[in-house]
Amino acid sequence: MVSRREVDVTSFISRLGCIAAALALAVLAACQTTNGDEFVPTPDNAGMTDAERLAMLQTYMDREEFVTKSDGSGYGPIGGMAIGVYTGNHFVDPACEDLKITGTGDIVVTRPPIKFGQNVNPISGAWTQEVYVEGCGRRMVKNAFWDAKHGKLDVGMLPPGATRANSDRELTTRVSDALKAQLRSANADCHRFGVVDTIVDDPAGDAWSETWWAYFCDDVAPHNVTFRTGADGTVDFDLAAAAGS
């Protein structure tokens, strides 16, 4: 025979189970939306085609509004960097303030595959995109990068222009650092430096040459950079001596 006390305990435990289940459903319902959008579970990354990955990445980029904000309140984080004084105004005109973003290029995946977590958030992979800026009679191409590692996203700017080196962020950093060091060897008191444009002079093959325009204090000048690809696939470069050195 079951005592009333045992029945009450059983009933109480049952009620606790119902309450826990109700709370779980409430939490699940709350998680079904993110910023007003419908919750998207982690996709089948292994079963996605390259085209599907690119389409999902474009959805993410459009949602996050990295370049421009759809409400017209201003530029997104990449847009602000793209028209910043150290990547635009000095090359056009130090007093130029009439700069605006006119469009973006295609997404270029530089470290595949792009993998996604919940809500179409990239968790691994890297990609770049051109951002077009016009103003004061000149059209400029800025290059932005996104790098997802271990669930975190690093976002920033690469050297502007057409350089082929932008597929390797470490390489572009080495070229920029070498160029800055060369210029500072002639004027150690100057700290204002930036690459403002790059032009591919001879794009053929595994060895090619480019012109990197850089400002240093109040001067803007071209610098020749030659790239070469080694047998192991790594790319190195030579920087021509600065004019007058």
Q: Which residues, listed in sequence order, are joined to residue 104 by a DSSP beta bridge?
A: 131
Contact indicator for 114, 148 with CB cutoff of 8 Å: yes
Q: Write out the chain's pLDDT in tens, 245 residues.
A: 545 444 454 554 455 455 444 444 344 444 444 444 566 788 899 999 999 999 999 999 999 999 888 777 778 888 878 776 444 444 545 556 677 888 899 999 999 999 999 888 999 999 999 999 887 778 889 999 999 998 899 999 999 999 999 989 999 999 999 999 999 998 889 888 888 889 999 777 889 999 999 888 878 889 999 999 999 999 999 998 655 44
Q: Residue ranges of the domains in the chain?
A: 40-158, 168-239
Sign for the pseudo-dihedral over CA of 79, 102, 85, 109: positive
State the pLDDT at residue 37.
55
Q: Which CATH architecture has domain 168-239?
A: Roll (3.10)
The predicted structure's pLDDT at residue 151:
81
Give dist(CA 11, CA 8) in Å, integer.
5
Say what the pTM is.
0.75
Q: How high is the pLDDT of residue 14?
A: 57
pLDDT of residue 71: 77
CA–CA distance, 161 with 182 (Å, rounded to integer): 21
**What is the predicted pLDDT for the residue at 43?**
87
Neighbouring C-alpha atoms within 13 Å toward the C-beta of 213? 18
